[in-house]
Amino acid sequence: MSTPIPTARRNVAWRVEQFLRAQEGMPTPSLNGWQADMVLAAIETLETGQFADGENTMMKAERPDLWEPAEYMPVGGKDIGQLLAALAKALA
């Protein structure tokens, strides 16, 4: 039986990776600044242990049509490769 913390961590990491791999597999990725910032925030939750926040943040990244504020100004400016590298570093 898995313990809650490793399972929650694995779930957030899986969700981030699946989202990024799906974007990577598109002929023209549709990752926007809002989504990149949300994914980066979800990756940061892997380091802080706030896994419920990571799940919530990924929900927002996956549905920018519902959550992205009007005229959002991106903070991170990360691309898919940089986000995958940040995920790998957080999991190391």
Amino acid in the structure at residue 33: G
| DSSP state for residue 86 in the 8-state scheme | H
Domain count, the chain: 1
Q: Report residue 31 CA to chain centroid gap.
A: 11
For residue 10, what are the domain limits? 4-91
Whole-model pTM: value is: 0.91
Token pair, residue 24, equals 């990577």
* d(C-alpha 3, C-alpha 32), whole Å: 35
* d(C-alpha 25, C-alpha 42), whole Å: 21
Block means of pLDDT (10 residues each) for the chain, 92 residues, are 82 97 92 95 95 96 94 87 96 93
Determine what percent of the chain falls in helix, strand and coil, rounding each to the nearest 5. 70, 0, 30
